[in-house]
Amino acid sequence: MNYSSIWTAAVILQKDVKTELRSRHGVSILILFGVTATMVISFALGIPDIDEAVAAALLWIILFFLSVAGLGYSFLREEEQMTMDGLLMAASVEGVYLGKVLFNLMLLLVAQGAVLPLFILVFNLQIGPWARFLAAMFFGSCGLSVACTLVAALVSRTGAKGPMLAVLAFPILFPLLIAASADTAAALLGAAGEGLQVLVLYPGVVGAFALMLVKFIWEE
Amino acid sequence: MILDDVGHGYDRGFLFRSLKADLQPGSIAVITGSNGTGKTTLLRILAGLLTPREGRVTYCNGKGSLPISSVRPRLGFVTPAISLYPDLTARENVLLACALRGLRGTLDVGSWLDRLGLSGRENDLVGSFSLGMRQRLKYACLFAYSPEVLLLDEPCSHLDEEGRRIVADLVLQYRGEGVVVIATNDPREVQWGELLINLDSCGHPTKGR
């Protein structure tokens, strides 16, 4: 990772934000999925007050499926539009990966901006310390973005489509989802929890691994 | 650019083998061959997007060989297999091609679009362009960042006569600055080459023109 990769990441982020603002495909997929899943769960359970641990688990299940439904989109679009090779010709693979991670994180945070208030309202959740809750959501989102972008890169190069992303992402995301659910539940209860350490470390560890791996994905 | 016993193929065997060539700046090589003989595959190998099954391609400067990751951004590859961004304007596509290669500041995008006959369409989305206009815009993107090697796959596909003339002028003018490799079966484009690589005859280079 060097200055050139960071520059590339910034250029790709700017390009993806610009195209997303014109099409709004990616953010629409994420918000529609999140809102639909929240409403379906709410009607199925039929109770306004649920246990905090169950609420936290449901929230992260929604975020997991929302991520695998939407975060592969930016890579698949590059392959479908036949622009991926042009990108790889022009820039470092690390920069391309980092740019996509940042764009996916931005998409995820925007989608959460719509889904989280609805989820809190529908399930009548009382948030303990807000900073702790938001930290869990932010670092959990970083982890989802880093891992889903890596798997999306793999899937897009194999020519496989969406469902493969969920199958491959789940084993990688399992530790993150466990820690995120536990820490979110602790934040909702206002209790102590150790999940945040895992949530902070996870994006760094998986991100470092991904930066080493992307060369082998894109450079035969 | 040195091709050293390069060979490649897929499940049914080799498309070409033992391909040798030494291309110096200022030379134009033309790859010909029937459909399916591996013209585009060879260009992808030269672009560093594909690793050959046999042999290797080396890019050298005066001091020695260069890693392909550092060479790739300095190559200009025009092929139907690489598209422009339809959700960006013509100007944004050119600026993106330059920015990804680390070029910043005031670039003369307008003059390149003008030379390619696209003046007045700078701020139109590429999604609204015809195939011929997209092909012209690919050349504007390419020449705006001054590549050191041109790899052109069917360079005049979708172009009208005026477009063909513009591209021919640009490529022949560029010849003095770097290496040009063209994959084509069009007799007019074959005329541009000094070195012919015919993949129908196993790819042994012969003198052109």
- ipTM for the predicted complex comes to 0.88
Residues of chain A with pLDDT under 70: 1, 48, 159-162, 220
| Contact between A89 and B51 using a beta-carbon 8 Å cutoff | no
E-strand spans in B62-193? Answer: 64-66, 75-78, 149-153, 179-183
The candidate with the shortest Cα–Cα distance to A188, out of A58, A41, A28, A101, is A58
Q: What is the pLDDT of residue B175?
A: 83
pLDDT digits 0-9 by tens, B161-190: 999 999 999 998 888 888 999 999 999 999
CA distance B46 to A93: 18
pLDDT digits 0-9 by tens, B94-115: 999 999 998 876 678 889 999 9
* CA A114 vs CA A63, A172, A213: distances in Å: 12, 26, 33
Contacts of A11 in chain B (CB under 8 A): 96, 99-100
Say if CB B92 and CB A21 are below 8 A apart: no
Q: What is the pLDDT of residue A73?
A: 83
Contacts of B72 in chain A (CB under 8 A): 88-90
Q: What is the pLDDT of residue B163?
A: 94
What's the maximum distance between 2 C-alpha atoms anywhere in chain B?
Answer: 50
Q: Token pair of B142, please?
A: 């390419």
**A190-220 core/surface letters (b: 16 or more CB in 10 A; e: else):** eeebebbebbbebbeebbeebbebbeebbee
Q: What is the pLDDT of residue A129?
A: 85
Q: What is the pLDDT of residue B160?
A: 94
Mutation target vs B (from A15, A24, A88, A97; most B CBs, 10 A cutoff): A15
Q: Which of B51, B82, B86 sits opposite A220 (nearest CB)?
A: B51
Q: What is the pLDDT of residue B207?
A: 60
Judged by DSSP in three states, B98 sits in helix
Residues of chain B with pLDDT under 70: 105-106, 202-209
Q: What is the pLDDT of residue A70?
A: 82
CA distance A208 to A4: 17
Contacts of A4 in chain B (CB under 8 A): 102
Q: What is the pLDDT of residue B142?
A: 93
Q: What is the pLDDT of residue B149?
A: 93
CA distance A52 to A57: 9
| Contact between A82 and B83 using a beta-carbon 8 Å cutoff | yes
The residue to which tokens 């012919």 are assigned: B196
| Contact between B100 and A91 using a beta-carbon 8 Å cutoff | yes
Q: What is the pLDDT of residue A7?
A: 92
Q: What is the pLDDT of residue B136?
A: 96
| Contact between B100 and A22 using a beta-carbon 8 Å cutoff | no
The candidate with the shortest Cα–Cα distance to B67, out of B78, B59, B75, is B59
Mutation target vs B (from A17, A82, A89, A100; most B CBs, 10 A cutoff): A89
Q: Which of A8, A18, A89 sits opposite B88 (nearest CB)?
A: A18
Q: What is the pLDDT of residue A74?
A: 84
3-state secondary structure chain A: CCHHHHHHHHHHHHHHHHHHHHHCHHHHHHHHHHHHHHHHHHHHHCCCCCCHHHHHHHHHHHHHHHHHHHCCHHHHHHHHCCCHHHHHHHCCHHHHHHHHHHHHHHHHHHHHHHHHHHHHHHCCCCCCCHHHHHHHHHHHHHHHHHHHHHHHHHHHHHCCCHHHHHHHHHHHHHHHHHHHHHHHHHHHHCCCCCHHHHHHHHHHHHHHHHHHHHHHHHCC
Contacts of A91 in chain B (CB under 8 A): 73, 100-101
